[in-house]
Structure 1
């Protein structure tokens, strides 16, 4: 393609066939540029979605940790209540 372009640069008159080829190449270039721009846009969207997913995972991990701590406290309190109840029952039985 470079050779053909260099040859065309040297011509003072460009035949219709060569003009059609140049137009075709320009149209292809425009299409390629549009595809490149669309790919860049899709990459940006993907990066944003990935970052949002990372934030969501971090938030869910934090929520999980808080729920686990709360559940552990509830279990500890229930175990304590069970122990108190057992002690009371044993005290009534003596």
Structure 2
């Protein structure tokens, strides 16, 4: 392709066939640029979605930790209440 372009630069008259080829190449270049821009846009959307997913995961991980801690406190309190109730039952049985 480069050779053909260099040859065309040297011509004073460009045949119709060569003009058609140049137009075709220009159209292909425009289509390629549009594809590149669309791919770049899709990449930006994907990056944004990925970052949002990371934030969501961090948020959910934090919530999970808080729920786990709350559940552990409830279990500790229940174990304490069970122990107290067992002690009262043993005291009442004696």
TM-score, normalised relative to structure 1? 0.97
Shift of 1:61: 0.7
How many residues matched? 94
1:50-88: CA deviation from partner (whole Å, max 9, x where unpaired): 111111111111111000000000000000100111111
- Identify unmatched segments of 5+ residues in structure 1: none
Tell me by how many angstroms 1:20 deviates: 0.2
Partner of 2:59: 59
User: Taking structure 2 as the reference length, what is the TM-score of the superposition?
Assistant: 0.97
4+ residue runs over 6 A deviation: none
Give the SS at the match of 2:12: coil
Gaps of 5+ in 2: none
